[in-house]
């Protein structure tokens, strides 16, 4: 699907930070450190596009998604949705905004209340946001169920009566119920069988076309993101290290971490030989991240400067943003 990358910006994330304090002591507890889950990330999402946000588990991508929706409070930074700065909104303003920004969770088992019927699960946001009640609400629930490929009679059933793929369709229906403009898809297919993953991704793409939705699609798998994204941002240890259009990223990855991730994706064509880049060691702890470039402890191209100086996140040309000392900024390049 082609969506204009130059379209209007719907969501601006500026210098977003989320540090979880670590405390010691029960009565006089004091902060002894912090988990630096998200550390100063900046990106835009344009109207109607899908921005993929990828990285290994623990890199901060899910925390970033939750901070954007204020399901958890960010430590600092701005999240500007359609001109409103989400971290500064009062409770009632935030409740109104939640109609426009929804989330689909990773776990299609844990994210649905087992004691509620599917009709009540999908109808609940309609009730909370005073969108529809009574017969009108039931009609809307039936319509949404059919939109996501389920049937109206499923409204009377309970979540345990469905397969994983069907439950994720229920999660999508719940998000769609309030006519959102932005949906944060938080690893929506990671818990599903590969055969079902494609169905759910196709459904998300069809819904995007039909309703003009904008997605922030969070995943750890670059091959999944490739199918659905217009642009991709790669995260490592709380930082975005590369961000560009999908075609450009897969054809011309510039950050050594992205290069390593892409080298691990198997080729469908056995005649294409690809050299696998094996990264040494595990992802360091976000409690005490490495100095300078956070990737320096695992980077095959590490230089002395990388250990002491953090690389800036710069436009290397045509909106291809990279944070690496090996990649210079393009002359006169603009901001993301």
The residues that touch ligand SF4, with contacts defined as CB under 6 A, are 255-256, 293, 295-296, 299, 301-303, 306, 311, 324-326
Nearer Cβ to ligand SF4 (133/301): 301
Nearer Cβ to ligand SF4 (222/322): 322
| 265 vs 320: CA distance, rounded Å | 21
Residue 276 beta carbon to ligand SF4: minimum distance, rounded to whole angstroms: 18
Token match 């670059």: residue?
222
Answer whether 201's CB lies under 8 Å from 285's CB: no
Nearer Cβ to ligand SF4 (71/303): 303
Residue 236 beta carbon to ligand SF4: minimum distance, rounded to whole angstroms: 9
Nearer Cβ to ligand SF4 (119/256): 256
| 168 vs 188: CA distance, rounded Å | 7
Task: Please name the residues in contact with 194: beta carbons below 8 A apart, sequence gap of 6 or more.
Answer: none
Instruction: Produce one character per residue of 45-54: b if its CB has 16 or more CB atoms within 10 Å, e if not.
Output: bbbbbbbbbb
Residue 38 beta carbon to ligand SF4: minimum distance, rounded to whole angstroms: 19
Answer whether 154's CB lies under 8 Å from 122's CB: no
H-helix or E-strand spanning residue 223: helix 222-228
Per DSSP, 53 falls in state E
Residue 238 beta carbon to ligand SF4: minimum distance, rounded to whole angstroms: 14
Nearer Cβ to ligand SF4 (111/258): 258
Answer whether 20's CB lies under 8 Å from 38's CB: no
Residue 310 beta carbon to ligand SF4: minimum distance, rounded to whole angstroms: 8
Task: Please name the residues in contact with 35: beta carbons below 8 A apart, sequence gap of 6 or more.
Answer: 19, 20, 22, 286, 287
Nearer Cβ to ligand SF4 (150/324): 324
Residue 39 beta carbon to ligand SF4: minimum distance, rounded to whole angstroms: 15
């Amino acid at each position: 699907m082609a969506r204009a990358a130059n379209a209007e910006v719907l969501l601006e994330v500026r210098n977003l930070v989320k540090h979880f304090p670590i405390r010691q002591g029960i009565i006089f507890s004091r902060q002894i450190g912090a988990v630096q889950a998200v550390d100063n990330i900046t990106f835009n999402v344009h109207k109607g596009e899908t921005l993929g946000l990828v990285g290994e588990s623990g890199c901060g991508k899910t925390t970033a998604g939750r901070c954007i929706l204020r399901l958890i409070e960010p430590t600092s930074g701005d999240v500007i949705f359609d001109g409103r700065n989400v971290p500064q909104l009062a409770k009632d303003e935030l409740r109104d905004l939640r109609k426009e920004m929804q989330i689909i969770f990773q776990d299609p088992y844990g994210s649905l209340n087992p004691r509620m019927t599917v009709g009540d699960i999908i109808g609940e946001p309609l009730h909370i946001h005073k969108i529809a009640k009574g017969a009108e609400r039931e009609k809307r629930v039936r319509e949404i169920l059919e939109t996501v490929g389920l049937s109206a009679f499923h409204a009377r059933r309970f979540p345990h009566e469905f397969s994983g793929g069907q439950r994720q369709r229920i999660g999508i229906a719940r998000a769609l119920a309030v006519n959102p403009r932005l949906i944060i898809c938080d690893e929506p297919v990671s818990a599903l069988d590969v055969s079902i993953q494609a169905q759910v991704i196709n459904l998300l793409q069809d819904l995007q076309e039909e309703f003009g939705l904008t997605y922030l699609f969070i995943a750890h798998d670059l091959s999944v993101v490739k199918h659905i994204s217009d642009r991709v941002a790669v995260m490592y240890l709380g930082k975005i290290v590369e961000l560009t259009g999908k075609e450009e990223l897969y054809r011309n990855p510039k950050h050594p971490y992205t290069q390593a991730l892409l080298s691990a994706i198997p080729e469908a064509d056995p005649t294409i030989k690809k050299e696998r880049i094996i990264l040494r060691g595990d992802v360091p702890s976000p409690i005490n991240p490495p100095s300078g470039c956070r990737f320096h402890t695992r980077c095959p191209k590490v230089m002395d400067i990388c250990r002491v100086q953090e690389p800036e996140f710069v436009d290397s040309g045509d909106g291809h943003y990279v944070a690496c000392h090996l990649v210079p900024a393009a002359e006169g390049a603009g901001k993301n």
